[in-house]
Structure 1
Amino acid sequence: MTFLKSSIFKYLVAIFALWAVLFYSSIQSTVAIWYRSETFAHCFIILPICIYLIKLKWAKLNNAQIKPSLLAVLFIAATLFVWLFGSMAQVLVIEQLATFAMLPMLIWCLMGREVARILLFTSFFWMFSVPAGEFLIPQLQELTANITVMAIQLTGIPVYREGLYIAIPGGLFEVAVACSGIRYLIASFTLGTLFAYLNYNGIKKRLIFIAFSIVLPLVANGIRAYGIVMIAHLSDMKYATGVDHLIYGWLFFGVVILVMFTLGGRWADPIPAKVSQVNPNGPKVNFAKLLKPGVVLAIVLVVGFGYKQAFKHQVSNVQPDMAQIFSVQKPIADQRWLPIFHNPTTVISGNQDGTDYYYAYYNANLQDVELINGRNKLYNIETWSIVSDDANERFRMLEIIDNYGNKRLLAYAYVTPWHITHKSLEIKLVQAIQALLGQPQNAFILMISVPVTERDSDFEQLEKQASALFNQDLKALLNDQ
């Protein structure tokens, strides 16, 4: 095949191989997420689709002039710094975004601006390989619950909502993570973007359809959740309460995508005329022109990877003395609320003067051994959901409820040697700076909790305790003693 024998194809394959070797560990962690998460299983087909998109542009690529760009090295250096930031601070989404953005940057650097411009959309679509978006789940759960309750009220059925729990006379429903619609949203956005590019020539029509592909699954997921509640209600809770409601959900999503494509197809533009293929074998690569940008690129990559190697795996020898904070350690009566933090260096929990407390310390910030991680949870999300929250600069207070109606108040903050806050992004930023400076990123979470009996008085009392606790110089516990 001419496609496989051309110099352009061989050059692209060589750049892809270079990228894969340089960023193997980051790519491996990304593929592991694709494999274990159904939300991102579609990422496996992004590369084949990108190859197809390149094939569509083959005539233009074969007529393009290969002229390596020294300017692109500046953007590669900036992207490499972002990658270092994400990798050393263990912020996977930033590390992976920089990793996959690096491939288009390398193509621009080694093949030139004209090739990069021809592959602009392909490069954009390539970024759908990054498994990002799960941070939207709480907001999507809230939106789904709002739409469901509103629809039930319009139906005339009595409904009561608290947190993510929705009660009707026939039963109790929870808007769980699986009901958030995140899978629908990501899949619809990905397919909608591809459909818009292939079927419309103008940027305005493309943007309108892409916006439609985002809004439609959000509304449709709320309607789907409402349909599940109504099916369960009308069948006396016999149907749509188990696996069948997941099957119904995917069938419903298939119909939604069909409707989206059918409506979008009505305004599809004519297929553009094909570009004549002047040079079917592609232009010759002038390796002499590669020398200057190639050398500068090599220096940038050696410095970046060398810096990471020099400062990786920094571990602190400090062991905070929590006896200074909690002198009485009684067992917690109800441990169902306890946070879930994976692989901490030290965990302490107990009860002092009627207040439960929890402490988890990490003496480093390594993969799967880190304070801020998507797998770590402030409470057991399988049995509890948030009713309300309130925060100041140092600590945050949450009111949570379980499916039996029991409520608790939580107050927590994260502590590093530099900073105390409840904001996980700030902690990650601090840890990234520490990593870049070659310092260990030790930190801990400290949380106190009480059951709710009289909400206002309990809230006021816990807020006073939290203010006294988190306004102490807790950072001193992490400094060398």
Structure 2
Amino acid sequence: MAISVGADHLELSTGDPNQVSVGNKFMNQAPSPIALAPHPGWRVALPAVLLTLTAILVVFRETALTMVDVWMRSGTYAHGFIVPPISVWLIWRMREKVAVLAPRHWYPAVLLLAAAGCAWLLGEVATVNVVPQFALIFMLVFAALAVLGPVVARSIAFPLLFLFFAVPFGDFTQPKLMEWTAKFTVLGLRLTGVPVYSDGLNLVIPSGSWSVVEACSGVRYLIASVTVGTLFAYLTYHTLRRRLIFVMVSILVPIVANWGRAYMIVMIGHLSGNTLAVGVDHLIYGWVFFGFVIMVMFWIGARWREDELPGSAKVLATTAGSGTDSAIWRAACTTVLVAAIWPIANWQVERGTSPPLDQLASLGPIIGWQRVPQGQGLPNWQPRFQNYSASTQATFENDGHVAGLFLGYYRNQDQQHKMVTSMNVLVTSDDPVWSKVSGGTSEIAIDQQALKVRTALLRAHSSSARLAVWQWYWINGHWTASDVLAKVYTTVSRLTGSGDDSAVIVLYALQHQAGEAEATLDAFARAAGPVIAAALQQSKAAR
């Protein structure tokens, strides 16, 4: 072992190849990272995956354009425009780590893509917009996995999964969020000494009346908070536990904040004599309050940020080489061909359309019930179902009891003309005459067949009139009140070549005293059920 001392360095030599050298000018410097060259397989894999993703978007362009149309029309989902650019940016910022990985095609992902394509077909047949849209994102993710392989896909997993936020999804939460908002507002008003009378989503206080509508549900705040909160958690934290905690917080905070927003709006209007927080001010105050709450949430979340330690980032080294150029291109072509199968299958299903229907078959006589002029003994009301092929509405009377019937018939349904959709409701939240007070279900029997129907109680704004309403569906001979089952029956019927003939059945009667309208509707449903079924079956037969 030899030790030598120089002017500016000290060297320890042991004769071992692993020699140690310490110099004054290098003693306090951290070792520099080793720069790795990009893997040569990317010269083929990058254009292959870009062309594959582009081809899938072209093949499913109608689904993609439907998503863009929703982004343009709805402020709730306008964030969809920035989701794809954010995903691209997230991949770009980690490009140096990804570039050294070896891309290698993975054919099992093609099978996953085929499953997503099948889901897309079922969603198209059932005319459920959100299913084809989610399926398209899944196909894009699985296409990247098929061409690049699991190692590369795992490294960019979050940017790929972030694309799911581009799907316009979440409106189904509106009714429950509106209900919670109304209950909390009533509770807050009573706790602060303001007398309030609540009737479903309608509130009456000494200074005026308020209604909880779709804009008050807070679904916009919730979706925006979850989208931005998830991105913030990914960029700010590195442990899964903290990321999941912050995502949960980004779900809970906007819900609670919306309750406070609704209470604040009502109180400002009440204390100002309805000169503030009404009209446009209502929305402005709400967004200002929500923006402040979200800013505070992010500020607090940043206090527990986890900075990446120097040298802690590890570059994954892949011992397996990339696939050959021809193998990667074969995987890309196979992926596109498998994806293209499903639009062709959908085209084949849509070929079996039926002739348009202009008029429903006439209702036969209903035992014990006489048809009376439309509106006699009942208010002028009609459910807000749209774009049906044909409809009929009639009023019937039996020993002083009056019941109304509405039938809306649908045939050759598509995304613009379909029976089960969030746009088809008994009454809209901005209806100037009626508002929904409550809803539920009720068991009835038609032709000795048990059926659970959906019930609702409507209240007139200008009077004390209340309308009890029952609703269910008919799909090619099947009765159901479930939106999900209605879609399932429609899908099976179309795939088996039986068409998609469907109808919504709505019965209604005035509620003078508790239980009276329900008894009237039950008696009328038992008598009219077989007659309604026969008329619908005759309408279906006229194809």
- Report the TM-score, using the length of structure 2 for normalisation: 0.82
Whether the 8 Å contact between 1:339 and 1:380 is mirrored in structure 2 is no
Partner residue of 2:497?
438
Partner residue of 2:328?
290
Mapped partners of 1:20, 1:295: distance in 2? 14
Q: Does 1:106 align with 2:143?
A: yes
Partner residue of 1:75?
112
Partner residue of 1:378?
426
Mapped partners of 1:382, 1:332: distance in 2? 23
**More deviation, 425-434/450-459:** 450-459
**More deviation, 245-254/51-60:** 51-60
Partner residue of 2:374?
331
Whether the 8 Å contact between 1:62 and 1:278 is mirrored in structure 2 is no
Describe how 1:119-198 pairs up with structure 2 within 5 A: 119-198=156-235
**More deviation, 315-324/247-256:** 315-324
Partner residue of 2:442?
391
Q: Does 1:115 align with 2:142?
A: no
Instruction: Tell me how far 1:336 sits from its aligned partner.
Output: 5.4
Q: Does 1:345 align with 2:389?
A: yes
Code of the aligned partner of 1:436:
L
- SS of residue in 2 equivalent to 1:328: strand
| 1:356-377 Cα deviation digits (max 9, x unpaired) | 2211111221221111122222
Mapped partners of 2:119, 2:372: distance in 1? 43
Q: Does 1:13 align with 2:72?
A: no
Mapped partners of 1:386, 1:356: distance in 2? 19
Whether the 8 Å contact between 1:46 and 1:126 is mirrored in structure 2 is yes
| 1:410-445 Cα deviation digits (max 9, x unpaired) | 111110114111111111111112223333101111
Q: Does 1:368 align with 2:416?
A: yes
Whether the 8 Å contact between 1:395 and 1:470 is mirrored in structure 2 is no
Mapped partners of 1:175, 1:316: distance in 2? 42
Partner residue of 1:321?
361
Whether the 8 Å contact between 1:342 and 1:368 is mirrored in structure 2 is no
Code of the aligned partner of 2:272:
S
Whether the 8 Å contact between 1:332 and 1:349 is mirrored in structure 2 is no
Identity %: 30
Aligned partner (choices 93, 107, 121) of residue 56 of structure 1:
93
Instruction: Tell me how far 1:316 sits from its aligned partner.
Output: 3.2
Instruction: Tell me how far 1:30 sits from its aligned partner.
Output: 0.8
Mapped partners of 1:462, 1:191: distance in 2? 49
Aligned CA distance change for structure 1 residues 294 and 177 (closer, same or farther; 3 Å): same
Aligned CA distance change for structure 1 residues 286 and 439 (closer, same or farther; 3 Å): farther
Partner residue of 2:63?
26
Aligned partner (choices 517, 520, 527) of residue 458 of structure 1:
517
Partner residue of 1:301?
339
RMSD: 2.6
**More deviation, 108-117/306-315:** 306-315
- SS of residue in 2 equivalent to 1:323: coil
Instruction: Tell me how far 1:142 sits from its aligned partner.
Output: 0.3
Code of the aligned partner of 1:390:
T
Mapped partners of 2:92, 2:380: distance in 1? 55
Mapped partners of 1:444, 1:322: distance in 2? 15
Whether the 8 Å contact between 2:48 and 2:147 is mirrored in structure 1 is no
Aligned CA distance change for structure 1 residues 471 and 166 (closer, same or farther; 3 Å): farther
- SS of residue in 2 equivalent to 1:238: coil
**Count of residue pairs brought into register by the alignment:** 476
Aligned CA distance change for structure 1 residues 470 and 396 (closer, same or farther; 3 Å): farther
Mapped partners of 2:81, 2:281: distance in 1? 27
Aligned partner (choices 210, 216, 219) of residue 253 of structure 2:
216
Mapped partners of 1:54, 1:394: distance in 2? 50
Aligned partner (choices 66, 77, 80) of residue 40 of structure 1:
77
Aligned CA distance change for structure 1 residues 298 and 191 (closer, same or farther; 3 Å): closer
Mapped partners of 1:278, 1:116: distance in 2? 13
Q: Does 1:422 align with 2:462?
A: no
Mapped partners of 1:336, 1:194: distance in 2? 50
Whether the 8 Å contact between 2:439 and 2:454 is mirrored in structure 1 is no
| 1:272-316 Cα deviation digits (max 9, x unpaired) | 55758899xxx9873322365446435533432321111115433
Mapped partners of 2:395, 2:83: distance in 1? 51
Mapped partners of 1:65, 1:402: distance in 2? 68
Instruction: Tell me how far 1:122 sits from its aligned partner.
Output: 1.1
Bigger Rg, structure 1 or 2: 2
Aligned CA distance change for structure 1 residues 372 and 71 (closer, same or farther; 3 Å): same
- SS of residue in 2 equivalent to 1:455: coil
Mapped partners of 1:428, 1:15: distance in 2? 32
Partner residue of 2:288?
251
Mapped partners of 1:177, 1:320: distance in 2? 34
Mapped partners of 1:273, 1:257: distance in 2? 31
Whether the 8 Å contact between 1:165 and 1:403 is mirrored in structure 2 is no
| 1:383-406 Cα deviation digits (max 9, x unpaired) | 312323223444222112243343
**More deviation, 456-465/63-72:** 456-465
Whether the 8 Å contact between 2:265 and 2:277 is mirrored in structure 1 is yes
| Higher RCO (C-alpha under 8 Å, 6+ residues apart) | 1
Whether the 8 Å contact between 2:56 and 2:336 is mirrored in structure 1 is no
Structure in which a larger fraction of residues adopt strand = 2
Structure 1: state its 5+ residue gaps. Answer: none
Code of the aligned partner of 1:78:
A
Partner residue of 1:312?
350
Instruction: Tell me how far 1:116 sits from its aligned partner.
Output: 1.2
Mapped partners of 1:81, 1:44: distance in 2? 27
Mapped partners of 1:261, 1:250: distance in 2? 16
- SS of residue in 1 equivalent to 2:260: helix
Mapped partners of 1:276, 1:207: distance in 2? 23
Instruction: Tell me how far 1:100 sits from its aligned partner.
Output: 1.5
Mapped partners of 1:424, 1:71: distance in 2? 34
Q: Does 1:408 align with 2:459?
A: no
Whether the 8 Å contact between 1:136 and 1:182 is mirrored in structure 2 is yes
Code of the aligned partner of 1:262:
W
Instruction: Tell me how far 1:323 sits from its aligned partner.
Output: 1.7
Instruction: Tell me how far 1:144 sits from its aligned partner.
Output: 0.5
Mapped partners of 1:302, 1:407: distance in 2? 53
Whether the 8 Å contact between 1:345 and 1:362 is mirrored in structure 2 is yes
Structure 2: state its 5+ residue gaps. Answer: 1-36, 444-450
Mapped partners of 2:517, 2:532: distance in 1? 25
Mapped partners of 2:339, 2:53: distance in 1? 16
Mapped partners of 2:261, 2:522: distance in 1? 39
Stretches (4+) displaced over 6 A:
276-279
Instruction: Tell me how far 1:330 sits from its aligned partner.
Output: 2.3
- SS of residue in 2 equivalent to 1:377: coil
- SS of residue in 1 equivalent to 2:371: coil
Mapped partners of 1:418, 1:67: distance in 2? 52
